[in-house]
């Protein structure tokens, strides 16, 4: 999990580097590594033992990756997918509950059990034949976040179910690193995991961090700058990815309620929230909901805002997002 690839409805909504951190000067220290297939950059104010703190921050990030990776057969998620019942860590329980909250608010547009649907479309592309109505209907029987049961730290799910937290886990990974940095006494910094960003404190000029949102089809063209202070922002886009079956393009985004690929999805979704897991998860869900329903959904949620570019390049933004933006 967490690999930088297309993030389907619940799997891996591709964060396509539409977010550009603007860092002033060169006195803040940074370290960059690839974690879970994503370029991760941590920037902090100069403190004692910079290198040690940054090294340990990446160790923490890799610890989280180890828990949620579907590519590691020994990860908790891989074990749960095999066994269907497992006692898991507090990290997993927290993220499952966060996922269920987003699923509930978005009426199932976000669903961590969507993995079986992804499989049938991959199979269909390989055999060059679209999924049949019967295939989709049968697979939908193995989809439904409400059927996952939590009892303390024990997770249980039905046979044939599989979960993937890729639509939210990268954001959580960022949150945990920020938590670590703050415990180490870092007061000003930013963590950027392939476009999932949390910035805290001030930038080098003593002001809020500024994040530039790039146009999804025009590189280096920044549509909006957003001021971030002790909050998260996640931008995701999938306009370049699709399944090709008999010459027909099927979008990589799959509606977990219908089992069909979503047509007319946004080119880009940016969500600002108090934590990066929330921003990441809602950015995933909003691709299924579309711009107008996403803005309606935001009215039910505290402390999130959205900036959405639809397939016709029309821009939608929530009122609270506008208040955060710089012209």
Residue 179 domain-assigned?
A: yes
Say how far apart CA 197 and CA 280 lie, in whole Å: 9
Please check the confidence at residue 31 and state whether its pLDDT lies above 70.
yes
Closest CA to 157 of 109, 212, 100: 100
Instruction: Tell how far CA 121 is from the center of its chain.
Output: 21
Q: What is the mean pLDDT of residues 263-279?
A: 88
Q: For the chain, how many structural domains are there in total?
A: 1
What φ, ψ does residue 39 adopt, rounded to 5°?
Answer: -70, 125
How confident is the model over 206-239, as pLDDT tens digits?
A: 889 999 888 777 777 888 888 888 999 998 776 5
Residue 36 structural domain: 19-326
Query: Per-residue pLDDT for 204 more than 50?
Result: yes
**CATH code at position 300:** 3.10.520.10
pLDDT at 322 > cutoff 90: no
Count of positions (residues) in the chain:
327
Is residue 3 situated within a structural domain?
A: no
The verdict on residue 7 lying in a domain is no
* Domain-located, residue 9: no
H or E, element range at 304: strand 304-309
The answer to whether the beta carbons of residues 211 and 199 sit under 8 Å apart is yes
**Poorest-pLDDT segment among 46-60, 135-149, 242-256, 305-319:** 242-256
pTM here is 0.87
Q: Greatest CA separation found in the chain?
A: 62
Residue 137 lies in a domain: yes
Output the pLDDT for position 22. 46
Q: Do residues 43 and 190 touch, judged by C-beta distance below 8 A?
A: yes
């Amino acid at each position: 999990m967490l690999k930088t690839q297309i993030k389907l409805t619940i799997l891996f909504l591709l964060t396509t580097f539409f977010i550009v951190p603007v860092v002033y000067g060169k006195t803040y220290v940074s370290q960059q590594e690839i974690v879970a297939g994503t370029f991760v950059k941590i920037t902090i104010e100069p403190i004692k033992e910079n290198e040690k703190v940054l090294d340990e921050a990446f160790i923490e990030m890799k610890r989280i990756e180890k828990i949620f990776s579907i590519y590691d057969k020994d990860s908790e998620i891989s074990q749960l997918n095999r066994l269907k019942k497992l006692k898991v860590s507090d990290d997993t329980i927290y993220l499952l509950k966060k996922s269920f909250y987003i699923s509930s608010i978005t009426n199932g547009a976000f669903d961590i059990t969507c993995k079986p649907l992804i499989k049938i479309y991959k199979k269909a592309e390989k055999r060059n034949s679209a999924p049949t109505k019967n295939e989709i209907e049968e697979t939908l029987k193995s989809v439904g976040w409400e059927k996952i049961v939590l009892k303390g730290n024990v997770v249980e799910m039905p046979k044939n179910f599989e979960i993937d937290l890729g639509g939210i886990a990268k954001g959580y990974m960022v949150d945990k690193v920020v938590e670590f940095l703050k415990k180490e006494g870092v007061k000003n910094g930013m963590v950027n995991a392939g476009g999932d960003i949390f910035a805290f404190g001030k930038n080098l000029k003593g002001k809020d961090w500024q994040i530039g949102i790039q146009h999804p089809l025009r590189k280096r063209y920044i549509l909006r700058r957003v001021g971030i202070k002790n909050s998260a922002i996640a931008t995701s886009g999938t306009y370049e990815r699709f399944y090709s079956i008999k010459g027909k393009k099927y979008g990589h985004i799959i509606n977990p309620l219908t089992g069909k690929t979503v047509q007319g999805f946004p080119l880009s979704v940016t969500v600002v929230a108090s934590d990066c897991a929330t921003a990441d998860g809602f950015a995933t869900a909003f691709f299924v909901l579309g711009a107008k329903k996403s803005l309606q959904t935001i009215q039910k949620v505290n402390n999130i805002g959205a900036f959405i570019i639809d397939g016709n390049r029309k821009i939608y933004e929530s009122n609270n997002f506008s208040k955060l933006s710089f012209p």
